[in-house]
Amino acid sequence: MKLIGFPSVKNKLGWPWTEATPPLPPTMPDGSPWPKISIVTPSFNQGQYIEETIRSVLLQGYPNLEYIIIDGGSTDGSVEIIKKYEPWLTYWVSEPDRGQSHAINKGWKKATGEIIAYLNSDDVYYPQSFKAVAENYSVEYSAIMGNLAFINSVSEHTGTSCKPIIPSSDRFDLSIVNPDQWLLPQASTFWTSATLEKAGKWVREDLHFTMDRELFYRSCKQGGIKVIEDTLAGFRIHGDNKSINQTMKMYHEDAKALRYSFDKDFRNNLYRIRNSRIWLARGHLFASNRSANRIPRIWHLFLSTILRPSQLFQKKHIKRILKAILPMQLILDIKKNSHE
């Protein structure tokens, strides 16, 4: 992709502002063409971050890129930013939609790549991510996945990278696997088109938080996941993250996403029910930890314990219960006596 006349940005340094990945050669080392990579960015009023997202895609130096932006009718200056990069976009539109999942579907319908992904408009790809994905591409896989970094509102790395955890290198039914035994980050995932054609090249529009997990349930049945060591993307954590601000809704959706996997296998359905309870227990535990008032904190902790009684065998959970129930002065006295 030629980037002649590519916009520069003042008062910004580093990737992807003043740094770019050197253009890749026209063909792969074995002489074969680079597989086409299609990226869809769903966006709505993310003007603070979308330019960095766009540049992190276009400055990959990748010769066979299809980039599609589906904006939901933003009114915060996002459209003006998108227009700056229009010459390098395959397609973009700004119009009202039914939310993030609908926007992804609109974009994926236009995507023609052999490798397909979506990147939210507050996240970024890291340098040479597309090269790493393309070099590991095979139709035998359902997806290629790398590590995920966490960044803050000013793009500073906030901690160690999140490494994917998969229960099998072959195809498997993720919906019956204990959620404690897997971790599949969406932003650093690139699905193969061959898999999506079988599993469904869409996400469920009634899911607004866990559409990616439900897609994983479908796609993992078609093929294994290729995990690579590269850190491919940065997930931005900031005050407007919907998954942080509406946590309990997200965990209820986790249970709902699992219900779509129910079938005639009674034993597997029991596993899915167990997994639904685990997700809900996690949600109530998160809500308990964030509750400022004592009564809601105890109530969420109680519900988490009922949904997942095995937590009672964990010392840290017993400590949570005691800390929530006992008066603070009594806890301080106990600690003091234990040190005497």
Q: What are phi and psi of 231, to 5 degrees?
A: -85, 115
pLDDT for the residue 331: 45
pLDDT for the residue 332: 52
Pick out the chain residues at pLDDT < 50. 329-331, 334
For residue 124, the cross-strand partners are 234
- Delimit the domains of the chain by residue range: 37-240, 246-339
With vertex at residue 242, the alpha carbon angle to CA 85 and CA 14, rounded to the nearest 5 degrees, is: 40
Residues 6+ apart with CB under 8 A from 155: 52, 124, 234, 236
| Residue 146 DSSP one-character state | E
pLDDT for the residue 284: 94
Residues 226-242: tens digit of each pLDDT: 999 999 999 998 766 55
Contact between 256 and 207 under an 8 Å Cβ cutoff? The reply is yes
Quick one: angle between helices 294-307 and 266-290, nearest 10? Answer: 160
**Yes or no: domain 37-240 corresponds to CATH 3.90.550.10:** yes
Contact between 36 and 23 under an 8 Å Cβ cutoff? The reply is no
